Amino acid sequence: MFKIRTNHGETLYSHGESILESLQNSGIYLQASCGGKGVCGRCKIRVIEGKIKTEVFFSITEQERAKGYVLACQSYPESDIFIEIPEKLITVSERISKAYTDIIEKHFKEKQLNPSVKKIHLKLRQPSIEDSQADFERIKQVLGKVSISRRLITELPEILRNKKWQTAVTVADGEVVDFTDSILYGAAIDIGTTTIACALVDLENGRIAGTTTCYNSQIAYGDDVITRIIYASENPEGLKILRKCVVDDVNALINAISKRHKNCKIFYFSLAGNTTMMHIFWGINPEYIRHEPYTPAINHYPLWKASDAELLSEPEIPVYTLPSVAGYVGGDIVGGVLASGMYMNDELSLFIDIGTNGEIVIGNREWLVTASTSAGPCFEGSGIKCGMRATAGALEAFSYNAETDKFEIKVIGETKPAGICGSGMIDIVSELFSSGVIDRKGKLLMESSRWIKTIDYETAFFITENCYICQSDIDNIIRAKAAIYAGISTLLNEVGIKEKDIKKVYIAGGFGEFLNVKKAIRIGMLPNLLEDKFSFIGNASLSGAVLTLLSTELREEAESIADRMTYIDLSRSKMFMDEYVSALFLPHTDSERFE
Binding positions for its own copies, rule: CB under 8 A: 127-129, 131-137, 140, 147-150, 153-154, 156-158, 161, 282-285, 287-288, 292-300, 302, 304, 308-309, 324, 326-327, 567, 569, 572
- Considering beta carbons, is residue 292 or 553 the nearer one to its own copies? 292
Residue 35 or residue 127: which is nearer to its own copies going by CB? 127
Closest to its own copies by CB, 130 or 456: 130
Rounded CA-CA distance 15/161 in Å is: 38
Shortest CB 565 distance to its own copies, Å? 13
Secondary structure class of 495 (helix, strand, coil): coil
Torsion of CA 512, 516, 520, 521, to 10 degrees: 120
Nearest-approach distance from CB 167 to its own copies, in angstroms: 14
**Smaller CB distance to its own copies: residue 106 or 161?**
161
- Distance CA(487)–CA(83), nearest Å, equals 48
Q: How far is the CB of 337 from its own copies (least distance, A)?
A: 19
Minimum distance from residue 325 beta carbon to its own copies (Å): 10
Of 221 and 304, which has the nearer Cβ to its own copies?
A: 304
Rounded CA-CA distance 566/329 in Å is: 10
**CB of 176 or CB of 421, closer to its own copies:** 176
Least separation in angstroms between residue 314's CB and its own copies is 15
The residue among 286 and 587 lying less far from its own copies, judged by its C-beta, is 286
Q: How far is the CB of 263 from its own copies (least distance, A)?
A: 26
299: nearest Cα among 276, 315, 319, 317 = 276
Q: Among candidates 593, 568, 591, 586, which has minimal Cα distance to 496?
A: 568
Please spell the DSSP secondary structure of 106-145, one letter per residue: HHHTTSPPB-SEEEEEEEPPPPBTTB---HHHHHHHHH-S
**How large is the greatest C-alpha to C-alpha distance in the chain, in angstroms?**
96
Q: What distance in Å separates the CA atoms of residue 570 and residue 575, rounded to the nearest whole number?
A: 8
Report the amino acid identity of residue 24: Q
Please say which residue, 108 or 165, places its beta carbon nearer to its own copies: 165
Closest approach of its own copies to the CB of residue 309, in Å: 8
**Cβ closest to its own copies, residue 324 vs residue 391:** 324
Q: Cβ neighbours of residue 440 under 8 Å, at least 6 residues apart?
A: 433, 585, 586
The nearest distance, CB 240 to its own copies, in angstroms, is 11
What length is written for the chain?
A: 595
- Distances, alpha carbon 306 to alpha carbons 214, 447, 479, 523, in Å: 21, 59, 39, 44
Residue 380: CB partners within 8 Å, gap ≥ 6? 192, 194, 195, 355, 356, 387, 389, 422, 510, 511
Shortest Å, Cβ 148 to its own copies: 6
Query: If you write DSSP's letter for every residue of 425-471 in order, what string do you get?
Result: HHHHHHHHHHTTSB-TT--B-GGG-TTEEEETTEEEEESSSS-EEEH
Q: What is the separation of C-alpha 223 from the centre of its chain, rounded to a whole number of angstroms?
A: 18
79 versus 154: smaller Cβ distance to its own copies: 154
Strands annotated E in 124-244: 147-148, 166-172, 175-178, 185-191, 195-202, 207-215
Distance in angstroms (rounded) separating the CA atoms of residues 321 and 559:
10
